[in-house]
Structure 1
């Protein structure tokens, strides 16, 4: 994970060198990213509400800026939707990785049981 070259890097789950720690780190990174996006979303939402309040409390002189405020509000709404979309994608990715980790954990348990059976069979043969 430390040698990640781009934000678009995709995990190769078929790689046998891909460890549980890599998954946990990736999941933690995604959770951190989700929290950052959520925080940004809340800031934009507050700014959006502030813009709405300021536009309703504006004097007649400030009403000349209505077009620019509408443009800014429109931009914020678009960014808000993008953040919602990204947030949904991150949630889906977290869910996918959680299922993957669960599968890996089950496989590790089965492998460990198999090793124990092999050890006991080796002891009985000796």
Structure 2
């Protein structure tokens, strides 16, 4: 192939012989073969790079998928643990609710209506109120009795 310093072969010039034309054609064929070989090498290198990129990309994708699968398994395990804990706590709350209902039922059955002794009331006030109509006297007499003991 001609570069900037070489003269370009002018086929229209009548001075050239058949041999000059054949030589020029042979040089062009030789240059074409060299360029074609270079093109094939570059093309093969490009395909090789593309394959390496695909393999690297595929390898990276496999690593990412593996990492996500591991993370998914951990999250699934954590979710199962939380569900178990939620069920356990729901059972405890249900047990407390049943116990509270049973306790209220039992209190309702054992205390006469209007009785203000027991849970939710100050037990000292209820017993003092029953012992005396005068709260001050009830406390004094109760204190006197306790001191005697």
TM-score normalised by length of structure 1: 0.48
Higher-Rg structure is 2
Greater RCO, CA 8 A, separation 6+: 1
TM-score normalised by length of structure 2: 0.41
